[in-house]
Chains A and B, each alone.
Chain A
Amino acid sequence: MSKHYSALALARHALDPGMPWPKAWESPEPKSSYDVVIVGGGGHGLATAYYLAKNHGITNVAVIERSYIGSGNVGRNTTLIRSNYMIGGNTAFFEHSLKLWEGLSHDLNFNCMVSQRGQIVLAISPVQMDVFARRGNIMRLNGIDAELLDAGEVRKLLPYLDYSKDARWPIHGAIMQPRAGTVRHDAVAWGYARAASALGVHIIENCEVTGFVINDGKVSGVETPRGRINAGKVGIAVAGHTSHVASMAGLKLPVESHILQAFVTEPIKPIVDHVVSWGAELFYLSQSDKGGLVFGGHIDGFNTYTQRGQFNRIQTVAECAVSLMPFISRLRLLRHWGGIQDMTPDGSPFICRTPVKNLYLNGGWCYQGFKATPASGWTYAHTIAHDQEHELVRDFALDRFEKGRELDEFGLGNWTYKQ
């Protein structure tokens, strides 16, 4: 039995096939009371529990998950990490996240397969190159890596795109973040769960929170089918269902639940070495280790909790892919799936206190949820431990719309259907 993963442990287990690997995390019976209860065992909830224990010494923590670990959006995203954000409230937060990604496998003693293959965003007009230059300059002023590529440099890196004069959208250049890339998403959930469990956090699966215990505007526990669990503090981390869960605490939020689809093709030989995004339409792709091309696009455009996507979005994404790379027109989509995400009016998240004392909110994650996982957990743990927002998330406040402090990075909130 080796608790610690290492080359030596691997060799020991290989030599003795009769020796099982220990369970990655414990499945304890829930206690009647914890210092902190985290509602939601996704990436953000598990990361929060881990950093509560590691950074703040708060180990009497339970993560309560209605399904199994890895069943939600942490296993449904397109696995991209990057920090090419431009607005004040976002740049430092996402860069902190990328720095945590860079050391995560060692920190968790779990191979998260962090692959910094670089992200290249293609410009389809000279104007877009100007916009990218501005973004790149702001990133570099914030200490984030960014490089502007001209059309020739793009062609050298991505020779397989359509550069013919018949191309629907000519490629004028690109902006690249070399440190961006992909991570194995399941490993993030498992790694955080294992590391948190090792520090004493209770991970309680298949247990849905059905209500909050609130007296005099102060939360003191949660109701579950396995009985009431008392808590000094409660943190919500259920993006996709944030409105649904927060409504049980009487909160009405600037959040709508929307479906975002993702796609993977049948496997082909290695060709796409980077993450490639497109300036013509919200579309991006990468190639998985198994060889499938992974595509992402825009939300379907109306609020829904079903994880079934609409056909017109599949069509648009396929058209984008073929427009960029005509040679894949006969490639078949192997799978497509949908995840439910919180859309906020400005497309940015919340990590903050709520009007209910000792109840904290982590939600509003839409396009940026996965890449934010480590920094989200890091700052949310701080917010819960100190009852005060971490300095990196001061702008992710619930009242920012009242104060005219929207964080509209890309204009991707649920406003899109109102424009």
Chain B
Amino acid sequence: MMIPCPHCGDRDVSEFRYGGDASKQRPAHGTGDLKAWHDYVFLFENPKGPHTEYWQHVLGCRRWFKLARNTATNEIGGVVS
């Protein structure tokens, strides 16, 4: 799988680190509701289809970015701003 790094261009997946679902909303700082934190940390949408996710070009420019990928096919939709 080739991943389009916004800085370096198309590079092999082995150069990247996966960072998980980018659509999750982190509870506000200081939120005392433990259920909200549990859901944020432990629950996953895990869709079979379109997914927006974080990647880091860890063996390259080390930039973090959001990527659209289809989890049913691994088809890359491109970088999401």
Of B38, B39, B71, most buried by chain A (CB within 10 Å of CB) is: B71
Stretch at the interface among A90-98, A179-187, A254-262, A376-384: A254-262
Establish whether residues B71 and A310, one from each chain, have CB atoms under 8 Å apart when the complex forms: no
CB within 8 Å for A312 and B71 given contacts A253-B43, A305-B48: no
Chain A, 386-419, CB within 8 A of any chain B CB: 401-402, 417-418
Q: Looking at the assembled complex, report how far the CB atom of A402 sits from the nearest CB atom of chain B, in whole angstroms.
A: 5
Which residues of the partner chain B approach A311 to less than 8 Å between Cβ atoms? 12, 14
Stretch at the interface among A146-154, A203-211, A296-304, A319-327: A296-304
Q: For residue B75, which residue of chain A has the nearest CB? A: A306
| Cα–Cα, bound, A216→B19 (Å) | 38
| Cα–Cα, bound, A310→B19 (Å) | 17
Which residues of the partner chain A approach B13 to less than 8 Å between Cβ atoms? 310, 312
| Cα–Cα, bound, A257→B12 (Å) | 21
Which residues of the partner chain B approach A3 to less than 8 Å between Cβ atoms? none
Q: Which of B38, B43, B71 contacts A304 (CB 8 A)?
A: B71
Q: Which of B42, B45, B51 contacts A345 (CB 8 A)?
A: B42
**A335 is an interface residue with CB less than 8 A from chain B:** no
| Cα–Cα, bound, A345→B19 (Å) | 14
Interface size class of B (residues with CB under 8 A): 20 to 34
**A243 is an interface residue with CB less than 8 A from chain B:** yes
A contacts with B, residue count (CB < 8 A): 25
Q: For residue A316, which residue of chain B has the nearest CB? A: B14
Which residues of the partner chain B approach A302 to less than 8 Å between Cβ atoms? 18, 53
Q: How many A-B residue pairs have CB under 8 A?
A: 65
Q: Looking at the assembled complex, report how far the CB atom of A398 sits from the nearest CB atom of chain B, in whole angstroms.
A: 10
**A56 is an interface residue with CB less than 8 A from chain B:** no
Establish whether residues A417 and B43, one from each chain, have CB atoms under 8 Å apart when the complex forms: no
Establish whether residues B35 and A303, one from each chain, have CB atoms under 8 Å apart when the complex forms: no
Q: For residue B39, which residue of chain A has the nearest CB? A: A252
CB within 8 Å for A303 and B51 given contacts A254-B43, A401-B42, A417-B20: yes
**A241 is an interface residue with CB less than 8 A from chain B:** yes
| Cα–Cα, bound, A255→B47 (Å) | 11
**A66 is an interface residue with CB less than 8 A from chain B:** no
| Cα–Cα, bound, A243→B47 (Å) | 8
**A308 is an interface residue with CB less than 8 A from chain B:** yes
Which residues of the partner chain B approach A310 to less than 8 Å between Cβ atoms? 1, 13-14
**A244 is an interface residue with CB less than 8 A from chain B:** yes
Listed from nearest, the 8 A-B pairs whose CB atoms lie closest are: A312-B14, A243-B46, A302-B18, A401-B42, A254-B42, A417-B18, A305-B48, A256-B44
Name 23 A/B residue pairs within 8 A (Cβ), A-sorted. A243-B44, A243-B47, A244-B46, A252-B43, A252-B44, A253-B43, A301-B18, A302-B53, A303-B46, A303-B51, A304-B71, A304-B74, A305-B48, A305-B72, A306-B72, A310-B1, A310-B14, A311-B14, A345-B41, A345-B42, A402-B34, A417-B20, A418-B20
Using a CB–CB cutoff of 8 Å, the interface residues on chain B facing chain A are: 1, 12-14, 17-20, 34-35, 38-39, 41-48, 51, 53, 71-74
